[in-house]
Amino acid sequence: MFPFCFEWVWDMGHLVFHGGLWYALSIIGMGMTYCIIKAVIDTRRGGSSHH
Amino acid sequence: MDSALIPEGVKRCPTWKFLLALAIAGAVLLWGVVAMLMVWFKGLNQTNMNDYYGFALWIWADLAFIALGGGAFFTGLLRYIFGIKELKNIINYAVLIGFICYSSALLILAIDIGQPLRGWFIFWHANVHSMLTEVAFCLSCYFAVLCIEYLPLVLENRQLDKVPFFHNLSHNMHETMAVFAATGAFLSFFHQGSLGGVAGVLFGRPFAFRTGINIWPWTFFLFTWSAAAYGPCFTLFITWLTEKITGKKLVKDNVVELLAKIAGWMIITYVVAKIIDTVYWATVTAPSLGFKWTFFYSDNPLYGKWILLTEIVLCGIVPGLLLIFGPTRRNPAARVIALLLGVLGVSLNRWVMVLQVMAVPVMSFDKWVLYYPSWQEVATTLLPVAYGVILILISYRYLPIFPQEPELNPIAPYTPANGAEATAGGQAGDESETEAVGQAAPAGA
Amino acid sequence: MKQEQTQHRPKRYGMVIDLDKCTGCGSCMVACMAENNVSFKKDESDKLLSITWMRVYKITNGKPFPDTDICYIPRPCQHCAGQHEGHSPCVSVCPATATDYSRETGIVSQIYTRCFGCRYCMAACPYHARYFNWWDPVWPDGMEKYLNPDVSPRMRGVVEKCSFCFQRYQAAKNKAYLEGRRELEEDEYQTACTQACPAGAIVFGDLNNPDHLVHKMVDPDLKHGGRPRNPEVFRLLERLGTNPKVYYKSGRQWVRKAGDNYLPGEKPGADMHKSHS
């Protein structure tokens, strides 16, 4: 998982795998952060945005 | 008793009936939990697995659940990325079923490993070249996506929705759902595929081994395709089952028929690909390793050529054609038969790619080995089924899962919604914001 | 560190088992269990649950008397190199890097404390050389004292297999370093099964070293994954491309044929000789 493991050898597979993984994780993370922050702001403004 | 929690504009069964259903499912769940604890505390000797069957019933259940849960990512892809609006009326249920399937798969994996406390090693010491590593990562990430997709639905519960923050959060998550759905589809492509890769890369097992593109064997693509084809079948089948049990129409026919039609074309294209793959494997791959393809289907009491015919013809071509042709698709009986065959077909495919792979002898002096599961394995496999039933019972009762339900099942004294009653049987009414019926009422209350 | 390692010629430890010498006595199995602290149960009648790092199979030519012939095939872990060095069936699939291929020795290792028991490696191995610990090991009273202190016993829930008695390699290396040597003599590192075989049917050594008997017997074609050039020597399931480092030798055609799978009417070794030319 991490380069400090004793048997670690960098190769193409790591770049592709970690590229895909962190891409997906960051989109999920940023998406949820956006939703939560926006919900906090909306709530502070006192409004409840109806569908 | 719990009427304050039940969505507005819909009718639910009496509480005692609900609790009875919960108790029955709960009993099965409890049986599964007992077996699960036995396996965790006493070890995998509680199973009938052995050194020839390192993978058995659980891995099959895992693969089957994930394939059947594929309805969530594919319906989401169609709804949010391809913009097929009608599917918003079934996407909630697809997400719920997907959520159940994926959480079940993760639970079964946690029971299946010999050292459950070391389960996190798959992340920490990950070998990125292993298909199983890819499965573990993508499965976990996609489960997070499913939680995100399911959460706004939970927040739409009548009481939770009154909390302004929850209301706003749910609203914002709905707004950004396309991003999550796209990520979910991306992750699903890889983990459904890697589950196919799990068998396809086994170059020591000629029955499973497939050639392919670069590091991806053909089964990688076949598994993704079949999950997208058969997953919606399962969603539609469970929807039909729910309608039968509740005695109500919950999703309009045009929505069901649209998804069924898409599933039909997906199944037919998949089966064509599967046939090409099978022919290539039987005529090129297996002979190059010294095996005649008939070898894999003979000299044993269970795995005959019937299994291949059943999978491809009876559970592939037949449901595909039934769903493609308008008259059979529109006929409820024919449609349900097709959906059921589809569900059985993909489950059978996963069985073959796990259990038959283990059964076939590879060394010339080895022999066929068959296996039957112990009761602990059966119980722990039924555990997620019971858990799924319970989650559906609770979600259906308290959450607005089916946006068209109030319109299709108007409650007689509910006079302000008379307009909805007028369009109840109509096919063109799906553009009307049926959700508003449920939403507007508490605001006025 | 890595540079220093590559200055030495890497080893490819391997084994040749002469099937015409093997009597099927099972000494290799016993020696292996004692050397490697392999656990056993009170009831070992179900062989699908028995741990036997070295297992002796019995095969027959299927002919009636007087042409009946039998052969015993001892099967340790084959320490496959795979299509490209290190791409063994099991090593390539292990999700937690709990089994590894050493480019220094060619030995496929198993890290018991890292294995979490998913058993994917067992599904991948066509030789059934990998065994799962379905139970915790329980030794008969007093037997703990006789366990090999150089080998860690395995706990329930992990996979184990033949390591080519790697502890003996480590001990021999230590001894050699203390004596100021970098290289091992052929007889300094031998597996327990090799030494236990009363018929001398098992030969062990470095396939890369032309002075070692294994090399002389096999005459490995290193450009083709170590395929034997000696026509009497074969490997199990050669056609799968696992490239094992355990070789078998027999003068009997039907025995050599039993080592692999062939289509009806296909001649054994046909594709092997193609690549030799």
How far does the CA of residue C214 sit from the closest CA of chain A (Å)?
30
Q: Which one-letter DSSP state was computed for residue C267?
A: P
Query: Measured between CB atoms, does A11 come within 8 Å of chain C?
Result: no
Contacts C117 to B, Cβ<8 Å? 44, 113-115, 118
Which of A25, A27, A28, A44 is the best residue to mutate to test the B interface, defined by the most B CB atoms within 10 Å of its own CB? A28
Kindly report, residue by residue over C45-86, the tens digit of the pLDDT: 999 999 999 999 999 999 999 999 999 999 999 999 999 889
| CATH 3.30.70.20, applies to C2-276 | yes
Kindly report, residue by residue over C219-264, the tens digit of the pLDDT: 999 888 999 999 999 999 999 999 999 999 999 999 999 999 999 8
State the count of interchain CB pairs (< 8 A) between A and C. 3
Least confident piece of the model among A42-51, B418-427, C2-11: B418-427
Determine the pLDDT at residue B415.
Answer: 53
Query: Measured between CB atoms, does C97 come within 8 Å of chain A?
Result: yes
Average pLDDT over residues B383-396: 96
Bridge partners, residue C74, by sequence: C56
| Spans of all domains in chain C | 2-276
Determine the pLDDT at residue B391.
Answer: 97
Determine the pLDDT at residue A1.
Answer: 60
Average pLDDT over residues B132-152: 93
Alpha-carbon torsion angle B339, B342, B343, B347, nearest 10: 170
SS3 of residue C228 by DSSP:
strand
Contacts A39 to B, Cβ<8 Å? 165, 168-169, 171-172
DSSP string, B201-227: T-TT-TTT---EETTEEHHHHHHHHHH
Determine the pLDDT at residue C223.
Answer: 87
- Per-residue pLDDT band for C26 (boundaries 50, 70, 90) equals very high
**Residue B401: which of B143, B135, B100 has the closest Cα?**
B100
Query: Measured between CB atoms, does B324 come within 8 Å of chain A?
Result: no
Average pLDDT, chain B: 91
CB contact under 8 A, C95 and B50: no
Determine the pLDDT at residue B413.
Answer: 60
Q: Which domains does chain B possess?
A: 15-410 (1.20.1630.10)
Query: Measured between CB atoms, does A7 come within 8 Å of chain C?
Result: yes
Specify the higher pLDDT residue, C7 or C241.
Answer: C241
pLDDT at C11 over 90: yes
Average pLDDT, chain C: 92
CB contact under 8 A, A24 and B435: no
Kindly report, residue by residue over A19-49, the tens digit of the pLDDT: 888 889 999 999 999 999 999 999 998 765 5
Please list, in sequence order, all residues whose beta carbon lies within 8 angstroms of the beta carbon of residue B206, skipping any fewer than 6 positions away: B285, B286, B289, B290, B291, B360, B362, C240, C261
Specify the higher pLDDT residue, C140 or B437.
Answer: C140
Contacts A7 to C, Cβ<8 Å? 97, 100
Q: Which two tokens stand for residue C268?
A: 């054994």
Report the alpha-carbon distance of residue A7 to residue C141 in Å, rounded.
39
Determine the pLDDT at residue B427.
Answer: 42
pLDDT at B260 over 80: yes
**Percent of chain B scoring above 90 in pLDDT:** 86
Contacts A5 to C, Cβ<8 Å? 97
Please list, in sequence order, all residues whose beta carbon lies within 8 angstroms of the beta carbon of residue C151, skipping any fewer than 6 positions away: C35, C36, C37, C167
Kindly report, residue by residue over C171-223, the tens digit of the pLDDT: 999 999 999 999 999 999 999 999 999 999 999 999 999 999 999 999 999 88
Cβ proximity of C234 and C251 under 8 Å: no
Neighbours of chain B (3+ CB pairs under 8 A): A, C
How far does the CA of residue C178 sit from the closest CA of chain B (Å)?
34
Average pLDDT over residues A9-17: 80
**Percent of chain C scoring above 90 in pLDDT:** 88
Least confident piece of the model among B119-133, B194-208, C119-133: B119-133
Report the alpha-carbon distance of residue C244 to residue C207 in Å, rounded.
12
Determine the pLDDT at residue B4.
Answer: 87
Specify the higher pLDDT residue, C164 or A7.
Answer: C164
Determine the pLDDT at residue B1.
Answer: 72
pTM: 0.90
Contacts B43 to C, Cβ<8 Å? 134-136, 156-157
Determine the pLDDT at residue B433.
Answer: 40
Determine the pLDDT at residue B35.
Answer: 97
CB contact under 8 A, B43 and C89: no
**Percent of chain B scoring above 70 in pLDDT:** 92
**Residue B190: which of C266, C11, A19 has the closest Cα?**
A19
Please list, in sequence order, all residues whose beta carbon lies within 8 angstroms of the beta carbon of residue C117, skipping any fewer than 6 positions away: B44, B113, B114, B115, B118, C132, C157, C158, C159
Kindly report, residue by residue over B224-243, the tens digit of the pLDDT: 999 999 999 999 999 999 99
By residue count, chain B amounts to: 445
Determine the pLDDT at residue B133.
Answer: 92
Contacts A1 to B, Cβ<8 Å? 123-126
CB contact under 8 A, B365 and C94: no
Determine the pLDDT at residue C16.
Answer: 98
Determine the pLDDT at residue B214.
Answer: 85
Kindly report, residue by residue over B11-20, the tens digit of the pLDDT: 899 999 999 9
Which of C84, C85, C97 is the best residue to mutate to test the A interface, defined by the most A CB atoms within 10 Å of its own CB? C97
Q: What is the ipTM metric for this complex?
A: 0.90
CB atoms within 10 A of CB B389: 18
Nearest chain B Cα to C83, which residue? B203
Q: Which two tokens stand for residue C85?
A: 């060095």
Which of C120, C162, C234 is the best residue to mutate to test the B interface, defined by the most B CB atoms within 10 Å of its own CB? C120
